[in-house]
Amino acid sequence: MTARLTATDLRVTLGPNEVLKGVSIELHAGEVHALIGPNGSGKSTLMRCLAGILRPKGAVQLDGRAIAHLAPRERARVLAFMPQRPDAPPGLCVRELVELGRFPHRGRCPAAHHDTTVCACMERCGVETLCERSTATLSGGELQRAFLAMALAQDPSVLLLDEPVSALDVGHQLDALALLRELTHERDLAAAVVLHDLNLTSRFADRVTLLHAGEVLATGAPSDVLTSAHVERAFGVRVLPPDERTLRFQK
């Protein structure tokens, strides 16, 4: 399978700390690729490198082209990035925020197509009833869903989401990740998502990369990465057998 986004031997030093130490990763079309690891392991830094925001040592290529050589608008047509704590520009309502996702395509599609795309993305992310609300009045979870709708409105081939469900309740977490998986398979996207919940990772990811201290500890199918040995080494906790107090959720 040909990789859509490839990072090779990424190295990033911030101040005195080497945050990434030779990390390589491939994102494939039609796969949800989860990035997991303890706090400070380099997940968000890696995502910013993949998005072209940070310029690391090493190489990041999008469909065979160096991402550093792409103009911002050209990159935005194919790659959407949702940061960990996105800030909405002041004074916007939800519809106007989502419409920002269409900016890279302005002048390339009829206005009616932009409107249809914006409405469809708001509906799929469950924010259509909030369309006239100011973003300043939204809860953290509502704002995350609005930003997800904006990212989808870019109509990208690569979708990078840094902790997109951290502010959502359990029901909306399941809905959001089910939607991500559905769209990834349906549109043949290459999607990377930073997650902390290992159960959600196991359920929704096609492929997992486990980072530890700025290095790749393991990568592969969830069953190959989420082993007792890997979890104990990375997180310092033991994996115990499930018992009657274990909570499992399904929608």
pLDDT digits (tens, 9 = 90+) for 19-69: 999 999 999 999 999 999 999 999 999 999 999 999 999 999 998 899 988
Q: What predicted TM-score, i.e. pTM, was given to this entire model?
A: 0.90
Q: Which residue, chain included where needed, has tokens 């700025």?
A: 214
Looking at residue 248, its pLDDT comes to 65
Q: Quote the Cα angle for 112-129-145, to 5°.
A: 90
Looking at residue 2, its pLDDT comes to 61
**Integer Cα distance of 211 and 193 in angstroms:** 13
Q: Where are the beta strands (DSSP E) in the chain?
A: 3-14, 17-28, 31-36, 57-62, 65-66, 79-82, 158-162, 190-194, 207-212, 215-220
How many residues are given for the chain? 251
Looking at residue 202, its pLDDT comes to 93
CATH number for the domain harbouring residue 120: 3.40.50.300
110 within a domain of the structure (yes/no): yes
Q: What's the domain range around 187?
A: 3-235
Q: How would residue 111 be classed by pLDDT, with cut points 50, 70 and 90? A: confident
The residue with greater pLDDT, 126 or 249, is: 126
Q: What are the structure tokens assigned to 99, written together?
A: 């419409």
**Integer Cα distance of 191 and 196 in angstroms:** 16
Number of domains in the chain: 1
DSSP H or E stretch at residue 98: helix 94-99
243 within a domain of the structure (yes/no): no
201 within a domain of the structure (yes/no): yes
Q: How would residue 96 be classed by pLDDT, with cut points 50, 70 and 90? A: very high
**Integer Cα distance of 251 and 248 in angstroms:** 11
244 within a domain of the structure (yes/no): no
Backbone angles phi, psi at 135, to 5 degrees: -65, -25
85 within a domain of the structure (yes/no): yes
249 within a domain of the structure (yes/no): no
40 within a domain of the structure (yes/no): yes
Mean model confidence pLDDT for the chain: 90
90 within a domain of the structure (yes/no): yes
**Integer Cα distance of 182 and 149 in angstroms:** 14
**Integer Cα distance of 134 and 185 in angstroms:** 32
Residue-wise pLDDT for 122-160, tens only, equals 998 989 999 999 999 998 888 888 999 999 999 999 999
